[in-house]
Amino acid sequence: MMLEIPGILSKDAVRELRALIDAGEWVDGNETSGHQSRLAKRNAQLAEGSEMAAEAGQRVLAALSRTPRFIAAALPLKVFPPLFNRYQGGEAFGDHVDNAVRQLRGTEFRIRSDLSCTLFLAEPEDYDGGELVVQGLFGEQRVKLPAGHAILYPASSLHQVTPVTRGARVASFFWLQSMVRENEAREQLFRLDTTIQTLSAERGGTDAAVLELTNLYHNLLRRWADA
């Protein structure tokens, strides 16, 4: 399941975050790449472990925790600390697959990467190219969202970022380990949750059908979740 998550950051919050990270130290993006990714990746990345990167990452995590659509879709168990990248001057990231397991350097923190997320921090009209292209069973999906919006997609997907030929594409990116391992199960739970919220708004939370569906949702989550 690929899902757009709009409005994670307001325009003001994006401007404040950009002011913070733009003043930081940017390094070769391959500092955090695996062997296969190094063959395809050309970009810059905010230095991992810097104070600015840590503060910026905390701002992103706080915003995610306030976004019900993100929580409902991802059912996050663990989130890898957000990273920040920049593409400009023809830089790109060719077709690749994210590592199945991500470990935070210098720590014992690691996750199984079930989901990847890109939070856009530049407006689409400010740069040419830079589309996130994700391959799926029904062909490719091309994504280029407004600043403050994010795209959530399976980390197992083959994907790329097309060359940026004008301006700069700036984004935060990170991986998640979900409480529910299987993509199909997460999708069914998300659709069920969305239906419950719609019916609850129409009929009220004590409606018999709403209660029955809520019971079904939690029993399925109890069956599938690792918490």
Residues 64-90 have a mean pLDDT of: 97
Lowest mean pLDDT among 47-51, 111-115, 220-224: 47-51
Q: Is 82 helix (H, G, I), strand (E, B) or coil?
A: coil
Residues 6+ apart with CB under 8 A from 142: 131, 132, 133
Instruction: State yes or no: pLDDT of 227 exceeds 90.
Output: no
Looking at residue 210, what is its pLDDT?
Answer: 97
Instruction: State yes or no: pLDDT of 39 exceeds 80.
Output: no
Instruction: State yes or no: pLDDT of 34 exceeds 80.
Output: no
Among 178, 223, 182, 216, smallest CA distance to 199 is for 216
pLDDT tens-digit map of 92-144: 999 999 999 999 988 999 999 999 999 999 999 999 999 999 998 888 999 99
DSSP per-residue codes, 168-221: EEEEEEEEEEESS--HHHHHHHHHHHHHHHHHHHHH-TT-HHHHHHHHHHHHHH
Q: What is the 3-state secondary structure (H, E, C) of 81-100?
A: CCEEEEEECCCEEEEECCCC
Per-residue DSSP letter, 130: -
Q: Which carries the bigger pLDDT value, residue 163 or residue 105? A: 163
Give me 77's structure tokens.
């168990």
Give CA–CA dist 198/204, Å, rounded.
10
Looking at residue 30, what is its pLDDT?
Answer: 79
Which residue has 């957000």 as its token pair?
82
Give CA–CA dist 27/43, Å, rounded.
9
Lowest mean pLDDT among 37-51, 159-173, 202-216: 37-51
Looking at residue 67, what is its pLDDT?
Answer: 98
Give me 121's structure tokens.
């921090």
**Phi, psi dihedral angles at 217 (to 5 degrees):** -55, -50
Instruction: State yes or no: pLDDT of 18 exceeds 60.
Output: yes
Q: Indicate the pLDDT class of residue 159, thresholds 50, 70 and 90.
A: very high
Residues in the chain: 227
Question: Do the beta carbons of residue 60 and residue 29 sit within 8 Å?
Answer: no
Beta bridge partners of 118: 151, 173
Q: Indicate the pLDDT class of residue 31, thresholds 50, 70 and 90.
A: low
Question: Do the beta carbons of residue 164 and residue 87 sit within 8 Å?
Answer: yes
Give CA–CA dist 33/38, Å, rounded.
6
Q: What is the dihedral of CA 173, 179, 180, 183, to 10 degrees?
A: 0
Please tell us whether the domain made up of 3-178 is placed in CATH 2.60.120.620.
yes
Distances (CA, A) of 70 to 64, 65, 129: 7, 8, 26
Residues 157-174 have a mean pLDDT of: 98
Q: Indicate the pLDDT class of residue 38, thresholds 50, 70 and 90.
A: low
Q: What integer best gives the mean pLDDT of the chain? A: 95
Q: Indicate the pLDDT class of residue 155, thresholds 50, 70 and 90.
A: very high
